[in-house]
Homo-oligomer: A and B are copies of this chain.
Amino acid sequence: MNYSPRHMKWWGWGDVDAGFDSSRHPGFWPFAKKQLGIERETSPTPPAPLEGVELPEAIVKPRFLAELKSTLHADQVCDSRYERVIHAYGKGFRDLFRLRRGSAEGAPDLVVYPESEGDVLVTLRAAAHHDVMVIPFGGGSNISGCLERMENERMVVSLDMRRMRRVLEVDAESFTARMEAGVFGPDLEEQLSAHGMTLGHFPDSFMHSTLGGWIATRSAGMQSDKYGKIEDMVIALRMATPEGVLATRTVPNSSNGIDVNHLCIGSEGTLGVITEATMRIHPRPEARIVPAYLFPEFEGGLQAMRECVNRECMPSMVRLNDPDKTALSLAFKPAASQLSQTASKIFKRYLRVRGFDLPRACLMMTAFEGRRENVAHEMRRVNAIYRKFGGVSLGASSGKSFEATKYDFPHIRDFLLERDVTTDVSETSTLWSNIVPLYKATMGAIRDSVLESGVPPFSGCHISHTYRSGASVYFTFGFMQQVGREMEQYLRVKRAAQQSFMDHGATLSHHHGVGTEHLPWLAADISPLGVKAVAAIKRGLDPGNIMNSGRLQPSADPFEEWSRIGGPVKAKLKAKAKVQSQA
């Protein structure tokens, strides 16, 4: 039972032996250079060596440690440099920027690998007893700042859940499965696959994130149109807290007062640790197809998406790129053969004849999966709607390239960081009636805020995760760094994007969580009394405030702390670091 899935590279995304291979995507870097106004190429800046990473001096409480070690095995309690650095951050821009520059100020003092709910409870009880802070850790893929320590007063433990990875029970008749919360996406799907089943949850982070992390942050998978967001899939769960275990009953639905599943979902580690969940599952699809389409313009694509909702069509994924994101996607395409280059030229000519103004054209990926007869039926209906709004099918081969590379996109950031380019994302959701105004305002806000530092912006957007009332709106941005002002540049753009969401009827995040990155906007989203209600739950389940303290609770001046995180690098580190002896 002590098998652990591997950690991602400590300074970037993905497995240590994986990365972005620009030779396989020859169009990408020229495209990026043109967009970002990079005229002279300098040699790439590699990350600092692990040995050179600066760590806060560990705060150690010997009696706490002794209590842990009396129950857990030696290999479950780690304090090595590597383990501390790995657990310092998630994979947001601020995280990776600091790590590459050799700073791990967010690192915990200790890492614990529980192998059972009992191990989790032992750790939480000892932590509560000795006033030690606990930060639950899944795959470490979070990009909203959920994992960094926010205080240097108390000892901090990162609780890494990856050894709790078993699918415990599959009820094929009821389409449910009970699983430990530390299981990673591929492992989970492999175990369900043995029963002919799938969970249907495929976020961009799928390879490197866990069930518990998905639930704690209200994650959305690429195929949420069919399978729902993670909160729609939870039937029952168990959460270990400093006050004991909260456990709900495995029933399809209930009217038993406030739904306490929803107190655990989205709690971002602030109340306890989700140890297992019973999830809704599905037979593995008989058929799956991901055709691509091109629309003459963004608005037409949007109208087609909404009309699919209106007519109750059921694709499993719909993803509409705006013209800029379309250009990025095309530039990202793998190298084409001579033959397909010729075919592509012919097709472009055809599109011009059809009246397409190519720089305004928008790529729409659409997936269908499930029973063979349903897939065919739904695709026919969607095709008819798309045609009505000017969409032209690019066939299923574009879809194949999307399928082959769908988890690779985050690798680009490491490639770009190495070339002193900052990239990040801000995403939200809003009503159909509000998507175009929000889109225009936010694209403007992002571009203006980049331009303020005097460099050209790239920004693009895609619409996905369709609901009856609207959809998710996802912005990607990038720009050249200015030496010494990197964090300042990032903060200006990130703040402009998030503030635009608030000013234009959107939410702080559709599926990336609150963390520290989005915390200043929480009260605007759920009202000050909503924040107070969340604080009240925390007081009830975590009276000692040991669980991921600082999250979900904005301070009186939330922007002040927000601006301080990570910049200037090391300022916080120097504050306090001491070996505390037991009180």
Contacts and interface: CB of A to CB of B under 8 A. Distances in A.
Nearest to A232: B232
Contact of A431 (B174, B219, B306): B174
Contacts of A525: 248-249, 254, 256
A509 B176 contact: no
B251 A429 contact: yes
Contact of A174 (B219, B432, B514): B432
Given A260-B534, A469-B235, A535-B540, A433 B171 contact: yes
A243 interface: yes
Interface stretch (A156-164, A265-273, A398-406, A555-563): A265-273
A431 to B, nearest CB: 4
A57 B451 CA distance: 73
7 nearest A-B residue pairs (beta carbon): A536-B540, A262-B262, A174-B431, A252-B467, A252-B470, A218-B255, A260-B530
Contacts of A245: 527, 529
A417 to B, nearest CB: 25
A570 to B, nearest CB: 30
Interface stretch (A74-82, A357-365, A369-377, A478-486): A369-377
Interface stretch (A29-37, A128-136, A329-337, A500-508): A500-508
Nearest to A432: B174
B241 A510 contact: no
Interface in A258-294: 258-260, 262-263, 265-268, 280, 282-283
Given A529-B541, A539-B536, A253 B467 contact: yes
A552 interface: yes
Interface in A359-393: 370-371, 374, 377
B527 A536 contact: no
A229 interface: yes
Interface string A518-546: 10001011111110111111011100000
Contact of A430 (B251, B370, B512): B251
A256 B469 contact: no
Given A174-B469, A246-B527, A253 B532 contact: no
Interface in A184-232: 217-220, 229, 231
A181 to B, nearest CB: 17
A257 interface: yes
Contacts of A512: 255
A45 interface: no
Contact of A509 (B255, B430, B433): B255
Nearest to A506: B251
A513 interface: yes
A40 interface: no
A265 B259 contact: yes
A310 interface: yes
Given A249-B507, A251-B431, A259 B231 contact: yes
A50 B249 CA distance: 44
Interface of A: 171, 173-176, 217-220, 229, 231, 235, 241, 243-260, 262-263, 265-268, 280, 282-283, 306, 309-312, 314, 370-371, 374, 377, 428-434, 465, 467-472, 505-514, 518, 522, 524-530, 532-537, 539-541, 552
A245 B528 CA distance: 9
Contacts of A513: 255, 257
Given A249-B525, A540-B532, A541-B532, A217 B370 contact: no
B514 A468 contact: no
A315 to B, nearest CB: 13
A373 to B, nearest CB: 8
Contacts of A258: 262-263, 265-267, 534, 537, 552
B530 A248 contact: yes
Residue of A434, A470, A505, A552 with highest tally of chain B CB at under 10 A? A470
B526 A256 contact: yes
Contacts of A527: 245-248, 260
A525 B256 CA distance: 8
Nearest to A541: B533
Contacts of A468: 175, 252, 280, 282
Nearest to A226: B312
A428 B518 CA distance: 40
A465 B253 CA distance: 9
Contacts of A263: 258, 262-263, 530, 533
Given A249-B524, A252-B469, 5 more contacts: A249-B505, A249-B507, A252-B431, A262-B263, A533-B537
Nearest to A465: B253
Nearest to A431: B174
Contacts of A171: 431, 433
A218 B522 contact: no
Contacts of A506: 251
